[in-house]
């Protein structure tokens, strides 16, 4: 198994990492035969074109080289089946090509390689057969030679039997959120958002579709000021936003429903009441000067809990004891109570039951009705097609296409999501 | 099979029952140790208790031990509230003692109130400046504050030694022949002696009252102000803090400074209440800073609980001094104190986790 996130011991050498967890012969003796191990690792890397110095320390290596170490680890243990989980996510294009050669070489030696990817071109380039998974289910297995990006995309997103019930056209006002050439790095320091330009107008829902991990989270965080942009500008109602400053974003009227409810959107150990004023504690009625008005905060929380039907035994319950749907209600209640201009919602229905999803959708519609510009980021194409007025597709950090929601077809969007042209 | 699992919920009654049982277990273990070393257990416990709380002047002595522990305990608790591990209470206390003594000598002759307020302010500033170093490093360079604050303890310990033993500093007593043979700190002027109040033979030093006041301020700050709200949010989830637009870095530095300032006042209290000179030996041997971490942990970072625990632990320490003698070795005192701390701290495990004993299901093959 080659994980997407590497399992390597950074201060150790390549050879040491390769034998780690290997119990066949070195485990039986006390001594590590470093020379022999290094020689064997060297042979393997020659044979499969995995150029890496066995004596180098992991922390000295690039991500691409680290991945080769992961593969060497599996080969050293003589693995017959290799599972590669999105191996190209961390690679440069030329590194990807080298990896494909390695995969081919391994397959020629009679090893089985399972290559997990959401990039259709790669799948076509390297695989013999392709299996499509959708929502945890295996949908179909087809020979790669017969597949076209178009046919794979159709299988990936699926054809809805029931045509998505679309919202009618909304009355749309002037632009309230404008992004111009915004770029940002991901957590690993690689570019995650590339030159994104888009406009959201008052009273409109702009859906951002895309397979998870294509920069949507980073984009949302950049707009919300939690991630410093590497370039570009964000404007709210025409005024330029101070980059990478969450407080400025809140002040400008950007409400943000983060993907990670418990931990980012809410402080798990704090009470519901405290979480309700997470953003508004700086001003009345939650506080006066430096003082926190504890009783007022409780009253505020009780009122909001009632209005948004949050099921909890009281405002003093720690947030972590609430169910997912109720947590999302608390987040939404708070974000709406701040009278936002723009609402950025990242996967707002993930992990919720049907009733919870309905509630969230109702809130989003309601927000648009009241003239809020909504940016809805979701991996659920049906959700986006139901709610959004326009749909932008994000792939590898860039917006690869924008369509009117009423005319876009599932196939067309699926192809864009998978990086096809 | 014994399995330890995290409790999903921590029942309230456990937080009362567990410490009580822990103390009982500690006394049980202590009884075994005492029996093995041929000391009458009940009599020893009685003496221990008397020496800590009942004897003539025992409470006064207990307060002397408890006062610095209250300061260092609050110092640790304040930082832990935001998940900052300030291990530097020790050094910050020294720093406060140095700056406090310096101001006392400089202001000598001024009215007593001015000198004392000056000492408190200087002590707080000294501790805060020292604690700001790991705070800034943590906030802007993600350096572990545990390591940096710990290392600074040794740095300040060496500085304090240098001031008295290694140089002819302003703080060193250089009058007369004796002082040049046995170096010691200059005696502070009379105005720098902190007042104390005697009630029925119990002497309450000003430092103890200041510690209580600090606890009240800390409680208010953390429960009733925006600053405290930000500290609790960031302590619970730093990401949620950033999401809410809080200035996480500034807050880290501010909390470390506050934490250090409290330990620093403890250092000034050492000068003014008890030692009346900068006393390197006494300060560095007492280990108030490290004991303060234990105090904070036992008190679960609640400022009022810190006062209580500091008082109890002060009693235990004080009893140790009284108990040790020809028939009762110093090491045995340490064993008794250690057993008590070990059991009470160990008991914490049972509040957060539960132990499940599972019997393995025997298969038919095994029984056959």
What is the rounded average pLDDT of the residues A370-391?
Answer: 90
* Spatial CA neighbour of B59 closest among B266, B198, B203, B211: B203
Contacts of A249 in chain B (CB under 8 A): 245
pLDDT computed for residue B230 by the predictor? 95
pLDDT computed for residue B359 by the predictor? 66
Would B366 be classed as within a structural domain? Answer: no
Would B55 be classed as within a structural domain? Answer: no
CA distance A274 to chain B (A): 8
Closest residue, chain B, to A334 (C-alpha): B244
C-alpha span between B99 and B104 (Å, rounded): 9
pLDDT computed for residue A165 by the predictor? 60
- Fold adopted by A175-417: Rossmann fold (3.40.50)
Q: Which two tokens stand for residue B158?
A: 């060496």
Return the number of other C-beta atoms located less than 10 Å from residue A390's C-beta.
21
A281 touches chain B (CB under 8 A): yes
Q: Which two tokens stand for residue B83?
A: 């998940």
A402 touches chain B (CB under 8 A): no
Answer yes or no: do B226 and A269 touch at CB < 8 A: no
Closest residue, chain B, to A317 (C-alpha): B9
Q: What is the pTM of this model?
A: 0.80
Would B153 be classed as within a structural domain? Answer: yes
Contacts of A220 in chain B (CB under 8 A): none
Select from A261, A267, A284 the residue whose CB has the most chain B CBs within 10 Å, as the one to mutate to test that interface: A267
Answer yes or no: do A247 and B233 touch at CB < 8 A: no
Answer yes or no: do A258 and B243 touch at CB < 8 A: yes
Answer yes or no: do B239 and A263 touch at CB < 8 A: yes
How many independent structural domains does chain B possess?
1
Would B341 be classed as within a structural domain? Answer: no
pLDDT computed for residue B365 by the predictor? 45
Would B146 be classed as within a structural domain? Answer: yes
Q: Which of B225, B233, B245 sits opposite A290 (nearest CB)?
A: B225
> How does residue A408 score in pLDDT terms, banded at 50, 70 and 90?
confident
Answer yes or no: do A263 and B232 touch at CB < 8 A: no
- The residue ranking higher by pLDDT, A375 or B362, is A375
Contact present, A367 and A343 (Cβ < 8 Å)? yes
Q: Which two tokens stand for residue B76?
A: 């640790």
Contacts of A226 in chain B (CB under 8 A): 242-243
Return the number of other C-beta atoms located less than 10 Å from residue A288's C-beta.
12
Contacts with B, A 202-241, CB within 8 Å: 224-226
Q: Which of B226, B239, B244 sits opposite A279 (nearest CB)?
A: B244
Would B263 be classed as within a structural domain? Answer: yes
Is the pLDDT at A278 greater than 90? The verdict is: yes
pLDDT computed for residue A140 by the predictor? 85
> How does residue A354 score in pLDDT terms, banded at 50, 70 and 90?
confident
Range of the domain at B174: 68-298
Closest residue, chain B, to A249 (C-alpha): B245
A290 touches chain B (CB under 8 A): yes
* Spatial CA neighbour of B314 closest among B24, B74, B59: B59
pLDDT computed for residue B364 by the predictor? 44
Q: What is the pLDDT of residues A234-253, one digit of tens each?
A: 999 989 999 889 999 999 99
Contact present, B272 and B192 (Cβ < 8 Å)? yes
Diameter over CA atoms, chain B: 93
What is the rounded average pLDDT of the residues A305-317?
Answer: 88
Sign, CA dihedral A278-A279-A282-A288, equals: negative
Residues carrying CATH 3.40.50.300, chain A: 14-116, 175-417
Alpha-carbon B152 to chain mean position = 17
Q: Which two tokens stand for residue A290?
A: 């430096």
Query: What is the secondary structure of A283-347 as a DSSP string?
Result: STTTEETTEE-HHHHHHHHHHHHHHTT--SS-TTSBGGGS-HHHHHHHHHHHHHHT--SEEEEES
Is the pLDDT at A145 greater than 90? The verdict is: no
Contact present, A340 and A254 (Cβ < 8 Å)? yes
- The residue ranking higher by pLDDT, A63 or A116, is A116
CA distance A278 to chain B (A): 6
Instruction: Tell me the H-state helices in A82-215.
Output: 93-108, 120-126, 149-157
Return the number of other C-beta atoms located less than 10 Å from residue A385's C-beta.
24
CA distance B230 to chain A (A): 9
CA distance A186 to chain B (A): 15
Cα–Cα–Cα angle for A410, A411, A414, nearest 5°? Answer: 85
Select from B221, B232, B244, B250 the residue whose CB has the most chain A CBs within 10 Å, as the one to mutate to test that interface: B244
Contact present, A195 and A402 (Cβ < 8 Å)? no
Cα–Cα–Cα angle for A365, A320, A283, nearest 5°? Answer: 65
pLDDT computed for residue B51 by the predictor? 86
CA distance A281 to chain B (A): 7
CA distance A258 to chain B (A): 9
Contacts of B236 in chain A (CB under 8 A): 267-270
Q: Which of B9, B226, B237 sits opposite A292 (nearest CB)?
A: B226
C-alpha span between B21 and B40 (Å, rounded): 22
Helix (H) or strand (E) holding B222: helix B206-224
Answer yes or no: do A247 and B225 touch at CB < 8 A: no
Select from A261, A264, A321 the residue whose CB has the most chain B CBs within 10 Å, as the one to mutate to test that interface: A264
Q: Which two tokens stand for residue B87?
A: 């291990």
Residues pairing with A201 in the sheet: A175
Q: Which residue matches tokens 């499969």? A: A48
Answer yes or no: do A256 and B243 touch at CB < 8 A: yes
Answer yes or no: do A263 and B240 touch at CB < 8 A: yes
Sign, CA dihedral A365-A367-A368-A374, equals: negative
Would B158 be classed as within a structural domain? Answer: yes
Residue B51 vs residues A53, B20, B44, B314: alpha-carbon distances, Å: 68, 22, 10, 11
* Spatial CA neighbour of B242 closest among A228, A131, A306: A228
Alpha-carbon B255 to chain mean position = 17
| Mean pLDDT, rounded, of chain A | 85
pLDDT < 50 stretches in chain B: 362-368
Answer yes or no: do B237 and A267 touch at CB < 8 A: yes
CA distance B207 to chain A (A): 28
pLDDT computed for residue B15 by the predictor? 76
Residues pairing with A175 in the sheet: A201
Is the pLDDT at A197 greater than 50? The verdict is: yes
pLDDT computed for residue A154 by the predictor? 77
Name every residue whose Cβ is closer than 8 Å to that of residue A337 and which is 6 or more positions away in sequence.
Answer: A276, A280, A304
Contacts of B244 in chain A (CB under 8 A): 246, 250, 278-279, 281
Select from B83, B219, B224, B226 the residue whose CB has the most chain A CBs within 10 Å, as the one to mutate to test that interface: B226
> How does residue A43 score in pLDDT terms, banded at 50, 70 and 90?
confident
Answer yes or no: do A291 and B228 touch at CB < 8 A: no
Q: Which phi-psi region, left, alpha or beta, contains residue B7 (left: φ > 0; alpha: ψ -120 to 50)?
A: beta
* Spatial CA neighbour of A57 closest among A12, A20, A111, A96: A12
Would B7 be classed as within a structural domain? Answer: no
pLDDT computed for residue A75 by the predictor? 84
C-alpha span between A46 and B332 (Å, rounded): 65
Helix (H) or strand (E) holding A114: strand A112-116
Is the pLDDT at A112 greater than 50? The verdict is: yes
User: What single DSSP character describes residue A159?
Assistant: -
Is the pLDDT at A183 greater than 50? The verdict is: yes
Answer yes or no: do B225 and A268 touch at CB < 8 A: no
Is the pLDDT at A26 greater than 70? The verdict is: no
Domain A14-116, architecture per CATH: 3-Layer(aba) Sandwich (3.40)
Contacts of A338 in chain B (CB under 8 A): none
pLDDT computed for residue A164 by the predictor? 53
CA distance B243 to chain A (A): 6
pLDDT computed for residue A421 by the predictor? 55
What is the rounded average pLDDT of the residues A175-203?
Answer: 91
* Spatial CA neighbour of A348 closest among A337, A357, A338: A357
Contacts with B, A 123-182, CB within 8 Å: none
Q: Which residue matches tokens 């792939």? A: A395
Q: Among residues of chain A, what percentage have pLDDT more than 90?
A: 33
């Amino acid at each position: 198994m080659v994980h997407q996130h590497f399992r390597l011991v950074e201060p150790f050498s390549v050879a040491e990492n390769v034998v780690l967890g290997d119990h066949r012969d070195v485990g039986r003796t006390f001594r590590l035969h470093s020379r022999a191990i290094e020689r064997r690792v060297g042979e393997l890397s020659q044979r499969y074109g995995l150029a890496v110095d066995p004596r180098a320390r992991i922390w000295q290596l690039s991500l691409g080289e680290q991945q080769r170490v992961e593969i060497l680890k599996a080969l050293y243990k003589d693995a017959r089946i290799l599972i590669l989980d999105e191996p190209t996510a961390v690679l440069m294009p030329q590194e990807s090509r080298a990896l494909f050669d390695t995969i081919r070489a391994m397959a020629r030696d009679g090893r089985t390689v399972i290559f997990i990817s959401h990039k259709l071109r790669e799948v076509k380039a390297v695989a013999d057969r392709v299996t499509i998974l959708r929502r945890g289910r295996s949908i179909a297995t087809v020979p790669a030679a017969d597949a076209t990006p178009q046919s794979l995309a159709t299988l990936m997103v699926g054809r809805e039997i029931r045509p998505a019930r679309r919202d009618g056209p909304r009355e749309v006002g002037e632009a309230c959120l404008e992004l111009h050439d915004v770029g940002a790095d991901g957590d690993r320091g690689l570019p995650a958002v590339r030159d994104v330009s888009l406009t959201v107008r008052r009273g409109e829902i702009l859906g951002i579709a895309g397979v998870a991990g294509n920069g949507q989270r980073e984009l949302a965080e950049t707009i919300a000021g939690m991630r410093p942009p590497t370039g570009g500008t964000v404007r709210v109602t025409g005024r330029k936003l101070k980059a990478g400053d969450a407080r400025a974003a809140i002040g400008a009227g950007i409400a943000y429903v983060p993907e990670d409810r418990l931990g980012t959107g809410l402080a798990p150990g704090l009470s519901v009441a405290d979480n309700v004023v997470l953003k508004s504690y700086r001003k009345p009625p939650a506080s006066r000067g430096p003082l926190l008005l504890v009783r007022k905060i409780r009253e505020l929380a009780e009122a909001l809990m009632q209005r948004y039907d949050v099921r909890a035994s009281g405002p003093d319950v720690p947030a972590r004891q609430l169910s997912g749907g109720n947590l999302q209600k608390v987040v939404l209640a708070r974000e709406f109570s701040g009278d936002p201009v723009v609402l950025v919602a990242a996967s707002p229905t993930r992990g919720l039951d049907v009733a919870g999803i309905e509630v969230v959708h109702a809130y989003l519609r309601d927000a648009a009705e009241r003239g809020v510009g909504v940016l809805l980021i979701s991996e659920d194409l049906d959700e986006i097609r139901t709610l959004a007025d326009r749909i932008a597709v994000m792939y590898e950090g860039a917006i690869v296409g924008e369509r009117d929601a009423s005319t876009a077809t599932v196939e067309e969007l699926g192809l864009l999501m998978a990086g096809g042209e | 099979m014994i399995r330890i699992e995290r409790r999903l919920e921590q029942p309230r009654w456990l937080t009362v029952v567990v410490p009580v049982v822990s103390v009982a277990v500690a006394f049980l273990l202590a009884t075994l140790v005492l029996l093995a070393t041929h000391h009458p257990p009940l009599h020893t416990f009685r003496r221990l208790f008397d020496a800590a709380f009942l004897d003539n002047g025992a409470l006064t002595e207990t307060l002397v031990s408890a006062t610095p522990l209250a300061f260092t305990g609050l110092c640790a608790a304040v930082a832990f509230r935001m998940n900052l591990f300030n291990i530097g209470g020790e050094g910050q206390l020294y720093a406060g003692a140095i700056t406090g003594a310096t101001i006392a000598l400089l202001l000598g002759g001024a009215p007593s109130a001015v000198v004392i307020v000056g000492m408190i302010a200087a002590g707080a500033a000294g501790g805060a400046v020292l604690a700001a170093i790991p705070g800034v490093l943590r906030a802007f360079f993600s350096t572990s504050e545990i390591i940096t604050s710990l290392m600074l303890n040794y740095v300040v310990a060496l500085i304090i030694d240098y001031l008295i033993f290694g140089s002819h500093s302003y703080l060193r007593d250089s009058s007369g022949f004796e002082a040049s043979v046995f170096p010691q700190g200059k005696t502070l002027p009379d105005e720098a002696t902190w007042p104390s109040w005697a009630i029925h033979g119990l002497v309450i030093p000003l430092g103890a009252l200041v510690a209580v006041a600090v606890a009240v301020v800390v409680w208010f700050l953390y429960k009733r102000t925006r600053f405290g709200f930000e500290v609790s949010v960031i302590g619970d989830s730093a990401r949620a803090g950033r999401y809410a637009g809080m200035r996480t870095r500034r807050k880290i530095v501010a909390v470390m400074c506050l934490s250090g300032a409290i330990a620093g006042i403890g250092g000034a209290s050492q000068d003014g209440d008890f030692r009346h000179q900068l006393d390197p030996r006494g300060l560095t041997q007492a280990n108030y800073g490290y004991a303060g971490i234990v105090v904070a942990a036992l008190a679960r970072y609640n400022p009022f609980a810190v006062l209580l625990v500091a008082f109890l632990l002060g009693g235990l320490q004080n009893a140790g001094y009284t108990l040790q003698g020809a028939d009762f070795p110093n090491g045995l005192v340490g064993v008794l104190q250690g057993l008590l701390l070990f059991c009470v701290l160990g008991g914490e495990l049972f509040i957060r986790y539960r132990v499940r004993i599972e019997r393995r299901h025997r298969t038919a093959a095994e029984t056959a």
